[in-house]
């Protein structure tokens, strides 16, 4: 379907690698030449996935389960294809973290309704449990945002909190970051040198201007600094190097619950 399509590189493409990219995120010269072909493969896979989602929806309808089924489509990350000088995921940029969350529940969720709530992965479980009128455990970290999905007013998070714990595939230190994504801004900081980023995602959707370096945004920067500190304190996040998680949270690459 896409073998003859000519894909162009993203407008925020950079020829040089992001200095904060680990080996997974960096692009070799030969890989840069492959980007248009990778895009064709990527879009072909997405098209195939879309077709299969259609098959699932059709099966639910044919089984008479349409009105009593909450159907959710989401994904874990996007790709960058050279945007910001990076190849792939594990980063706070929009291309990687702004993923779909599409939900269908006929007669309960308004058709075509779009919410701008900052839904994050920990919010999914309590939200779905609440939609099914099942109890939500008190110890969950996420919020019940079912009212947002149903188009109703109610509390919601100011930001989505994001954690980059470094190159855990190789346990390589130096690439750890933390970030917040509000309805307008993305704020991020690297552990290795304290480098900060602040993007206005409305005025600058490709995140090409780092406002953390603009004195006019000092108050906004300070606001997100404090908000991030508060969120990390709530979660007990002490922002350690990648190998710390290896030594304290895993055994033989199996994730353990710290005691």
| CATH match of 158-259 with 3.90.550.10 | no
**pLDDT tens by residue, 6-59:** 999 999 999 999 999 998 899 999 999 999 999 999 999 999 999 999 999 999
Exposed/middle/buried for 259, CB within 10 Å: 0-12, 13-18, 19+? exposed
Q: Is 190 helix (H, G, I), strand (E, B) or coil?
A: strand
User: What is the rounded average pLDDT of the residues 195-207?
Assistant: 98
DSSP H/E element including 197: strand 196-200
Q: What is the pTM of this model?
A: 0.94
Please give the Cα distance from 187 to 178 (Å, whole number): 8
User: What is the rounded average pLDDT of the residues 199-213?
Assistant: 98
- Structural domain boundaries in the chain: 1-114, 119-157, 158-259
Question: What percent of the chain has a predicted confidence (pLDDT) above 70?
Answer: 99
Q: Does 112 have pLDDT greater than 80?
A: yes
Please give the Cα distance from 146 to 143 (Å, whole number): 9
**C-alpha distances in Å from residue 46, one per residue of 18, 42, 51, 172:** 27, 6, 9, 31
Within 13 Å of residue 202, how many CA atoms lie on the same side as its CB? 5
Candidates 226, 193, 229, 223; CA nearest to 211 is 223
Q: Does 229 have pLDDT greater than 80?
A: yes
- DSSP code of 251? E
Q: What is the rounded average pLDDT for all residues in the chain?
A: 94
- The pLDDT, as a whole number, for residue 119 is 95
């Amino acid at each position: 379907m896409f073998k003859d399509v000519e894909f162009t590189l993203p407008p925020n493409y950079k020829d040089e690698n992001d200095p904060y990219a680990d080996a997974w995120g960096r692009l070799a010269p030969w890989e840069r030449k492959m980007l248009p072909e990778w895009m064709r493969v990527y879009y072909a896979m997405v098209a195939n996935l879309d077709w299969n989602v259609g098959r699932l929806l059709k099966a639910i309808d044919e089984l008479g389960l349409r009105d009593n089924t909450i159907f959710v489509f989401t994904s874990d990350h996007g790709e960058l294809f050279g945007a910001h000088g990076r190849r792939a995921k594990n980063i706070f940029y929009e291309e990687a973290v702004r993923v779909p969350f599409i939900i269908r529940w006929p007669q309960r969720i308004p058709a075509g309704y779009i919410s701008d709530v900052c839904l994050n992965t920990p919010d999914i479980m309590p939200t779905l449990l609440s939609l099914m009128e099942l109890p939500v455990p008190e110890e969950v970290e996420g919020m019940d945002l079912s009212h947002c999905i149903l188009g109703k007013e109610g509390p919601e998070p100011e930001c989505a909190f994001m954690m980059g714990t470094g190159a855990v595939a190789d346990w390589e230190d130096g690439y750890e970051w933390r970030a917040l994504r509000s309805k307008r801004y993305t704020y991020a900081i690297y552990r290795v040198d304290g480098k900060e980023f602040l993007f206005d995602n409305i005025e600058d959707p490709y995140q090409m201007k780092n406002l953390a370096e603009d004195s006019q945004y000092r108050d906004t920067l300070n606001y997100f600094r404090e908000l991030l500190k508060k969120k990390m304190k709530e979660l007990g996040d002490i922002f350690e190097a990648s190998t710390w998680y290896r030594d304290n949270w895993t055994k033989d690459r199996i994730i353990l619950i710290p005691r």
